[in-house]
Amino acid sequence: MKIAALLLFGFILSLHTHAQTTIQMRNLWTRPQVHVLFNGYSLSFTIKDIDRALELLYETGDTTFGTSCGLDTGSNYSFELFPGTKMEYHNPLEPLMQQGVGAFLLSAGHAYIEDSKHRIVKAIVADIQPLPPGVDDAYLLFYDPRNNKMLFSGKMAADMYKKDLGIN
């Protein structure tokens, strides 16, 4: 009986982890200028990566955000996001990152992430929620594998799954 219960438990865990992917973060060769505070984590992105992701998003037919974020690379931009995407945004960068390109950049490994103790997060776990029929945006949750704490949640266009930033 114990073996059957253990096998069932293992099967359930394997189904749950099947939708999860571990992503290694890449080194950012330039200083990140956009800093997102989310659930105790600091996620930093370069404007070059954001602009390239916007170009790829525009190629999929999504013209919501344009092809450039229009930010000055000599400045720093910081803001806080909260779990869920039905929040009231106070800054134009907030919907851009949470509903536009933030999830894509994280899934490509193009971010510098620190936890609340300023330790660098070198790998993250992405949990991709299944797409309901007729929906073009996937909802992604990202976790710190050390403590399974959510470090970002956002949407990504389904057409962006196989896109390559082309930035190393």
Reported as a single tens digit per residue, the pLDDT across 62-109 is 888 999 999 999 999 999 988 765 557 788 899 999 988 999 999 999
Does pTM surpass 0.85?
no
pLDDT band at 143 (very low <50, low <70, confident <90, very high): very high
In whole angstroms, what is the distance from residue 166 CA to residue 168 CA?
A: 7
Instruction: Name the DSSP letter for residue 101.
Output: I
pLDDT of residue 168 exceeding 60: no
pLDDT of residue 134: 80
Which of 11-15, 89-93, 95-99, 161-165 bottoms out in mean pLDDT, i.e. has the lowest? 11-15
Alpha carbon dihedral 88, 50, 120, 24, in 10-degree steps, equals 110
pLDDT of residue 48: 94
pLDDT of residue 46 exceeding 90: yes
Domain definitions of the chain by residue range: 21-160
pLDDT of residue 159: 84
Between 6 and 142, residue with greater pLDDT: 142
**Burial tier of 137 (Cβ tally within 10 Å: 0-12, 13-18, 19+):** middle
pLDDT band at 29 (very low <50, low <70, confident <90, very high): confident
pLDDT band at 118 (very low <50, low <70, confident <90, very high): very high
Q: What backbone torsions phi and psi does residue 130 show, to the nearest 5 degrees? A: -65, 145
Between 113 and 29, residue with greater pLDDT: 113
pLDDT of residue 91: 86
